[in-house]
Structure 1
Amino acid sequence: MQHLEIEFKNLLKKTEYDRLRSLFPEVTPVHQTNYYIDSPNWTLREHGMSLRVRTFEEGGELTLKIPQAIGNMEYNQELPSNIWPLFPDQLHLPEGPILDLIQEERINLEELRILGSLHTERVEIQLPIGLLAIDKSSYFDQVDYELELEVTNPAQGREDFENFLKEQNIEQRKAPTKVARFSAKL
């Protein structure tokens, strides 16, 4: 499955996270772990790609993101039940469109490694303005909090996101992607 992901992000202070989280007490958080994959010399990143395996309590998916003029083209592939439980002990990329895209770039699969993991407790709420996610992420010795809004219209989405931040009295803060924040701590 592939789709164009357009999202707006904002880092949160813990107090802001707690306040937003309290707005949706009926929503059960989802726990997920992202395993980031690249070569030790960042071959995928040099090709403008980021690759992860995301595992849930039951199941997992492989995701490849490639930046576009607006947003990221995101390719998702469900991991077969015989593969996902092996992470992070074994890296095995299943046949499919993601492996095909990586091989088209002539990337040596033998060089790819799991660089580490990031655990997220996520609360997702579908709002009229888009899919809102409130995240608490832990990686290495770091814990951070983030707000994301996934939209289909970039101009309207930006306006809606900025209005949401104002309504919630949250200062705008740059939020690098999770993979960028994770990579900076390596």
Structure 2
Amino acid sequence: MNIVEKEADRFFNRLYRNGKVNNLENLKDHITTKLYDFNRDRDKLDFLKIIRQKSVEDKEEHMKNCSGCGYDEERDIGIFAIDQEIDKINRFYSYQPKTEDEFSVEQESELHNKLNDILEKLEKQGFGQQIIFDEIEDLKNHFNLGKKNWFQLLKGKVVDLTLKKVLDKTIVQEIYDQLSEGFEQVVKMIE
């Protein structure tokens, strides 16, 4: 259990188990105060998601034997407040890959050119479906995900095109091999 998880566990037990939450204002005040303990948005989101999950589980467990005491309404208020905080952080949160996972400008340019070459080859082979072009163009906009996540996205897109029978498995394998050339270490991590 990491520090964020421990803090979420303590917060949940202290706040909910001791009956300190009875209205939206009170809960939002406690959550906001606790979030100041975390500098990273990722930690804040993890914390909020943990206490949200605990709230849902607690409500479900209580409702098995409840006869209408209002406990569920109190948990719903809590979940509402947590969801608002998650939404607020997500508006400004952007994923930052670790430095070693970031694409260099040269790598981005090389992949961009490879994607253009693939589009050109597919068009010459008679694969002119808009879905193919949209998926490949979409890949050009996501280099900010980092190498590992970008190649996972690529893999998902090409598998999806195969399942929809838009492209043959052999063509998809060629595309994947061409794009992953030079990134064998990243591709091995994914597989």
Query: Does the TM-score normalized on the shorter chain lie above 0.5?
Result: no
Look at both structures and tell me which one has the larger radius of gyration over its CA atoms. 2
Higher relative contact order (CA closer than 8 Å, sequence separation 6+): 1
Q: What TM-score, normalized to structure 1? A: 0.23
User: Counting helix residues as a fraction of each chain, which structure ranks higher?
Assistant: 2
Q: What TM-score, normalized to structure 2? A: 0.22
User: Counting strand residues as a fraction of each chain, which structure ranks higher?
Assistant: 1
